[in-house]
Structure 1
Amino acid sequence: MATRRSTRNISQKSSGLKLNTSASTPQGSSLPQASNASNFHSQISFLSSSTSISAKSTGLPKRDLSLLLKKQRLLKTSTPQALDALDPHLRSALSATLVFAQSEAGTAFCISFTGLLLTCSHCVSEDPSDLEENRTKWLLFASGRVVQAKCIAYDHIRDLALLQIISAEERQNPLAGSSTNGEASQITFPFLTISPIPPKKNTQIICIGHPGDEDLEASKPGVKTNYDVIHISYGRYRGIAEGADVQDNSEIGALMHDSWTYWGHSGAPLCTKKDGLVVGMHSSWDDETGMRRGVAWEAITEFLKEHGDPHVIQGIGDGVVGSSKETPILVE
Structure 2
Amino acid sequence: MATRRSTRNWSQKSLQPNDFAPISKKLPGSSDYTPPYQSRISLFPSSLGLSTKSTGLSKRDLMLLLKKQRLLKISTPEALRSLDSHLNHTLLATLVFAQSEAGTAFCISSTGVLITCSHCVSEDPSELEENRIKWLLFASGRAVQAKCIAYDHIRDLALLRIISAEQEPTSTSSNISNNHQNPSSSFPFLPIASTSPKKNTQMVCIGHPGDEDLETSKSGVKTNYDVIHVSYGRYRGIAEGADVQDNSEIGALMHDCWTYWGHSGAPLCMRKDGSVVGMHSSWDDETGMRRGVAWEAIVEFLREHGDPHVIHGVDGGTVGSRETPILLE
* TM-score (norm. length: structure 2): 0.90
The 5 Å alignment of 1:125-136 reads 125-136=122-133
Aligned to 2:149: 152
Deviation (angstroms), 1:322: 7.4
Deviation (angstroms), 1:48: 1.8
Deviation (angstroms), 1:84: 1.4
Cα deviation, 1:38-60, whole Å, max 9, x if unaligned, reads x54xx211112496222233121
1:78 equivalent to 2:75? Answer: yes
Alpha-carbon spacing, 1:19–1:98, altered in 2? closer, same or farther (3 Å): farther
Whole-angstrom distance in 1 between the partners of 2:25 and 2:242: 27
Alpha-carbon spacing, 1:147–1:328, altered in 2? closer, same or farther (3 Å): farther
The 5 Å alignment of 1:225-304 reads 225-304=223-302
- What code does the residue aligned with 1:303 have? F
- What code does the residue aligned with 2:85 have? P
Whole-angstrom distance in 2 between the partners of 1:256 and 1:225: 25
Whole-angstrom distance in 2 between the partners of 1:172 and 1:185: 18
Deviation (angstroms), 1:12: 2.8
Q: 1:33 aligns with which of 23, 32, 35?
A: 35
- In structure 1, stretches of 5+ residues that fail to align are 175-182
Deviation (angstroms), 1:105: 2.4
Whole-angstrom distance in 2 between the partners of 1:58 and 1:50: 10
Alpha-carbon spacing, 1:69–1:242, altered in 2? closer, same or farther (3 Å): same
- What code does the residue aligned with 2:5 have? R
Aligned to 1:88: 85
Aligned to 1:119: 116
1:106 equivalent to 2:107? Answer: no
- What code does the residue aligned with 2:3 have? T
Q: Is the 8 A contact 1:121 1:161 kept in 2?
A: yes
Alpha-carbon spacing, 1:217–1:89, altered in 2? closer, same or farther (3 Å): same
Whole-angstrom distance in 1 between the partners of 2:31 and 2:24: 11
Q: Is the 8 A contact 1:193 1:277 kept in 2?
A: yes
Q: Classify the secondary structure of the residue corresponding to 1:318.
A: coil
Deviation (angstroms), 1:311: 2.6
1:2 equivalent to 2:7? Answer: no
Q: Is the 8 A contact 1:154 1:162 kept in 2?
A: yes
Aligned to 1:180: none
- What code does the residue aligned with 1:286 have? D
Whole-angstrom distance in 2 between the partners of 1:34 and 1:294: 26
Whole-angstrom distance in 1 between the partners of 2:163 and 2:21: 23
Root-mean-square deviation (CA, aligned residues, Å) is 2.3
- What code does the residue aligned with 2:186 have? T
Cα deviation, 1:222-261, whole Å, max 9, x if unaligned, reads 1000000001000000000000001000000000000000
Q: Classify the secondary structure of the residue corresponding to 2:109.
A: coil
Whole-angstrom distance in 1 between the partners of 2:183 and 2:200: 37
Aligned to 1:12: 13
Aligned to 2:185: 187
The 5 Å alignment of 1:289-328 reads 289-313=287-311, 314-321=313-320, 323=322
Deviates more, 1:208-217 or 1:164-173: 164-173
Q: Classify the secondary structure of the residue corresponding to 2:31.
A: coil
Alpha-carbon spacing, 1:2–1:134, altered in 2? closer, same or farther (3 Å): same
Q: Classify the secondary structure of the residue corresponding to 2:217.
A: coil
Alpha-carbon spacing, 1:24–1:226, altered in 2? closer, same or farther (3 Å): same
Alpha-carbon spacing, 1:151–1:267, altered in 2? closer, same or farther (3 Å): same
Whole-angstrom distance in 1 between the partners of 2:170 and 2:75: 14
Cα deviation, 1:69-124, whole Å, max 9, x if unaligned, reads 00000000110111111101100010000000001320000000010000000000
| Aligned positions, number | 317
Alpha-carbon spacing, 1:29–1:46, altered in 2? closer, same or farther (3 Å): farther
- What code does the residue aligned with 1:321 have? G
Alpha-carbon spacing, 1:225–1:261, altered in 2? closer, same or farther (3 Å): same
- What code does the residue aligned with 1:168 have? A
Aligned to 1:216: 214
Whole-angstrom distance in 2 between the partners of 1:154 and 1:21: 9
Q: Classify the secondary structure of the residue corresponding to 1:129.
A: helix
Q: Classify the secondary structure of the residue corresponding to 1:234.
A: strand
Q: Is the 8 A contact 2:24 2:152 kept in 1?
A: no
Q: Classify the secondary structure of the residue corresponding to 1:187.
A: coil
Q: Is the 8 A contact 1:171 1:186 kept in 2?
A: no
- What code does the residue aligned with 2:27 have? T
Alpha-carbon spacing, 1:4–1:21, altered in 2? closer, same or farther (3 Å): closer
- What code does the residue aligned with 1:26 have? P
- What code does the residue aligned with 1:4 have? R
Whole-angstrom distance in 1 between the partners of 2:306 and 2:206: 25
